[in-house]
């Protein structure tokens, strides 16, 4: 049962432009939403999170937006850099520890 | 600072053999997770330990899988007997209790298992 969905398997963006990654979820009981970044042959690395009681969280070039009525989450990366090329996983927490992950979006930043 | 350490990084074995994957969490972290990543199912939680006690093993596929955490600095995931469908990347992750609540986990580099 996929409770967190990333419908775009890949995204290509030019260096310096904005990257927008999207995520939809079905479980209204999720407490926190997160984005993880993963390079090949490495484990996922926590990037940014947002509590279910907020609608925006910003950390440097990364901003996460939460629209609870639409059950939609997005990650904005501005400006995109070559080092941002990776797989990005949307995730959500329920029951104090249970993380559900989306399938991932592969971002390629073109020079 | 050392992160989560997993071994082996790669394991190739034949069907029916026993496989043991190992994990050393970050010192001071009291929550430990085993995740599996496959093309079909993505990243899925296998088992969660808190203070060395298994809290949720509902993700363990079947009796062939077992996990232990004998102390705060070591955990194992064992598959016996292994089958080709067990081929996947197995990740260990650790966190503080607060980190587990908010989903902020520290993942190891993973153990890539291939069962022939």
What are B87's two structure tokens? 């081929």
User: Do the Cβ atoms of B93 and A49 come within 8 Å?
Assistant: no
User: Do the Cβ atoms of A46 and B105 come within 8 Å?
Assistant: yes
Min distance A44 CA to chain B CA atoms (Å): 6
Q: If residue A20 lies in a helix (H) or strand (E), which one and from where to where? A: strand A19-25
* Cβ pairs A/B, distance under 8 A: 59
Query: pLDDT tens track of chain B, all 116 residues?
Result: 689 999 999 999 999 999 999 999 999 999 999 999 999 999 999 999 999 999 999 999 889 999 999 999 999 999 999 999 999 999 999 999 888 888 999 999 999 999 99
Nearest to A89 among B43, B45, B50 (CB): B43
In tens, the pLDDT along B29-54 reads 999 999 999 999 999 999 999 999 99
What are A32's two structure tokens? 């926190």
User: Do the Cβ atoms of B45 and A99 come within 8 Å?
Assistant: yes
- The set of residues, in sequence order, having a beta carbon less than 8 Å from that of A87 and lying 6+ positions away, is A37, A38, A39, A104, A105, A106, A107
A74-77: long-range contacts (C-beta < 8 A, 24 or more apart)? A74/A20, A74/A21, A74/A22, A74/A23, A75/A19, A75/A20, A75/A21, A75/A23, A75/A35, A75/A47, A75/A48, A76/A18, A76/A19, A76/A20, A77/A18, A77/A19, A77/A20, A77/A21, A77/A107
Q: Are B103 and B55 in contact (CB under 8 A)?
A: no
User: Do the Cβ atoms of B45 and A102 come within 8 Å?
Assistant: no
Alpha carbons A96 and A98: distance in angstroms, whole number: 6
What are A87's two structure tokens? 């797989």
Is the CB of B103 inside 8 Å of chain A's CB atoms?
A: yes
In tens, the pLDDT along A29-80 reads 999 999 999 999 999 999 999 999 999 999 999 999 999 999 999 999 999 9
């Amino acid at each position: 049962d996929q409770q967190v969905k990333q419908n775009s398997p890949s995204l290509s963006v030019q260096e310096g432009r904005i990257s927008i990654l999207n995520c939809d979820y079905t479980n209204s009981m999720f407490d926190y939403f997160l984005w993880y970044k993963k390079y090949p042959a490495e484990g996922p690395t926590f990037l940014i999170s947002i509590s279910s009681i907020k609608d925006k969280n910003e950390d440097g070039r990364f901003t996460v937006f939460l629209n609870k009525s639409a059950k939609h989450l997005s990650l904005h990366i501005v400006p995109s850099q070559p080092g941002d090329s990776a797989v990005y996983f949307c995730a959500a927490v329920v029951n104090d520890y249970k993380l559900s992950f989306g399938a991932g979006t592969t971002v390629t930043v073109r020079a | 600072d050392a992160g989560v350490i997993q071994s082996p990084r790669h394991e190739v074995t034949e069907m029916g053999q026993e496989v043991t994957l190992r994990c050393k969490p970050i010192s001071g972290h009291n929550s430990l997770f085993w995740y599996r990543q496959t093309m079909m199912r993505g990243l899925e939680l296998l088992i969660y330990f808190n203070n060395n006690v298994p809290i949720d093993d509902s993700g363990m596929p079947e009796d062939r899988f077992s996990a232990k955490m004998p102390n705060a600095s070591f955990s194992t995931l064992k598959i016996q007997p292994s089958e080709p469908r067990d081929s996947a990347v197995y990740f260990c992750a650790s966190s503080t209790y607060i980190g587990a609540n908010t989903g902020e986990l520290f993942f190891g580099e993973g153990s890539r298992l291939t069962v022939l």
